[in-house]
Amino acid sequence: MIAYVKGELILVTEEGVVVEASGLGYDIRMPLSSLSNLPGIGNTVTIYTYLYLREDNIGLFGFLTREDLNIFKLLITVNGIGPKGALGILSSITPDDLRFAVLSDDVKTIAKAPGIGAKTAGKLILELKDKLKLSDAFEERFAKNLEPGVAPGREGNGIYEVRKEAIEALVALGYSAAEAAKTVGSVELREDMTVEDVLKLSLKNIGF
C-alpha cells in the first residue's frame, strides 16, 4: 500500500496530477476541490493516496489531507459508489459539508454530485449516518477557518460558533444530533445573528 507520495509536482490535468518522487512519476487522480488548492508546478507536494485494485481497474487516487482520504474510503464502501463516483462527490462537496448533509438527511445536496441520483444519495446517507460524527465536522470546519491565508467565506468563525451552539442547545433539549443539524441548517445564517436568533427560527421551523 502506498500511504502517500511526496515529491515534485510535474503536471496538473483536469483529472489529476503527476508527481515525481525518487525518479518515478506517479499518475494520481484527484477531486477538483484538491486540484484547485495545489501549489504551482515545480513545488514539492505531499499527496495522501489510495491504491484501488480490481481485475479490470487499477488506479491511484490522491488527496491533500488524510481527512479527505478517509472520507473517500468511506464513500467507496457504499454499494453502487466506486472511485469515480466518490471523486465526483468530493469534487462537489467538502468532507465537512458531506457530514452535515448526511446527518441532516440532505439528499438534494448530495445528489448534485455528477452521477449521483437521489436514490444513490439516500442509500449513501443510510449507510454512512452511523459512521460520521457531527463533532468531527465542526472540528474540521473550525480548523480550516483558523488556517492562515484562507480567505474568510460566508461562514466565518462567528457564524461557526453560533451554529455550533445552536445545535448543541437543541441536542440539550432532547433532539438528536441529526435533527438538530437539519433544523439549524434550514436557517439562513447572517453575521449579525445571535444563538438566540437562530434558536427561535429553528424552533419555529419545527413547530415548537
Task: Give the relative orientation of helices 66-75 and 83-92 as an angle to the nearest 10 degrees.
Answer: 130
- Which tens digit of pLDDT belongs to each residue from 39-50? 999 999 999 999
* pLDDT, position 125: 92
Which residues form the domain of 99? 4-131
Percent of the chain surpassing pLDDT 90: 39
3 state SS of 32 = helix
Which has the higher per-residue pLDDT, 184 or 8? 8
Domain co-membership, 96 together with 189 = no
On whether both 117 and 26 belong to a single domain, the answer is yes
| For residues 155-184, average pLDDT | 74
What one-character-per-residue DSSP string does 45-61 give?
Answer: EEEEEEEEEETTEEEEE
Residue 167: helix, strand or coil by DSSP? Answer: helix
Domain endpoint, select from 99, 115, 131: 131
Give yes or no: residues 144 and 113 share one domain.
no
Split into its structural domains, the chain has a count of 2
* pLDDT for the residue numbered 133: 67
- pLDDT tens digits, one per residue of 131-160: 876 555 555 554 554 443 333 333 444 676
Q: Which residue has the cell 444530533?
A: 177
Is the model more confident about 83 or about 105? 83
DSSP element (H, E) containing 144: helix 134-146
Whole-angstrom distance, CA of residue 118 vs CA of residue 109 = 9
Q: Which of 131, 161, 186 is the last residue of a domain?
A: 131
| Rounded-to-integer distance, Cα 93 and Cα 38, Å | 17
